[in-house]
């Protein structure tokens, strides 16, 4: 995630993932959701940093969604667009993306044979669309 602007789409993605795993297994397979948050370094040349990494991380760590309880979401830094480092470290059973897969991301998922989950949300939940709308106002 980039999460320059936290919006309902981020919450909907997390809730969908939570219920998807719960429904599929009758419980959470790993009991945890790891959010790979792009660091400022990873954002360079990809998206403009609006909110510093430590603040974006703080916001995500302090989201409370009743279905999740308190200890099931971990925000971890991702230092490049390629998630291989985090895949090796956290060994996820799936990776989800809300609005398209970057080339590096897709290659890493294929290489590590990770299940890919596409989450499609209305365009109104795109951070880029929200930022562009604000610029026009």
pLDDT of the residue at 96: 78
For domain 8-136, give the CATH number: 3.40.50
For residue 109, count CB atoms less than 10 angstroms from its CB and return exposed for 0-12, middle for 13-18, buried for 19 or more.
Answer: buried
* Domain residue limits, the chain: 8-136
pLDDT of the residue at 77: 96
Q: List per-residue pLDDT tens for the chain, 137 residues long.
A: 787 777 777 777 777 776 665 556 555 445 577 889 999 998 887 787 788 999 989 988 887 766 665 556 789 999 988 889 999 998 887 887 766 666 778 888 888 888 877 777 777 777 777 777 777 87
pLDDT of the residue at 37: 92
């Amino acid at each position: 995630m980039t999460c320059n602007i936290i919006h309902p789409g981020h919450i909907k993605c997390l809730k969908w993932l939570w219920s998807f795993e719960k429904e599929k297994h009758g419980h959470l397979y790993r009991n945890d959701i790891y959010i790979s948050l792009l660091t400022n370094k990873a954002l360079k040349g990809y998206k403009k940093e609006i909110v510093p990494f430590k603040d974006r991380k703080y916001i995500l760590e302090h989201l409370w969604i009743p279905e999740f309880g308190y200890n099931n979401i971990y925000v971890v830094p991702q230092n490049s667009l390629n998630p291989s480092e985090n895949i090796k470290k956290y060994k996820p059973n799936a990776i989800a993306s809300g609005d398209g897969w970057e080339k590096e991301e897709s290659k890493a998922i294929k290489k590590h044979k990770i299940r890919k989950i596409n989450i499609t949300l209305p365009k109104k939940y795109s951070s880029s669309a929200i930022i562009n709308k604000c610029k026009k106002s």
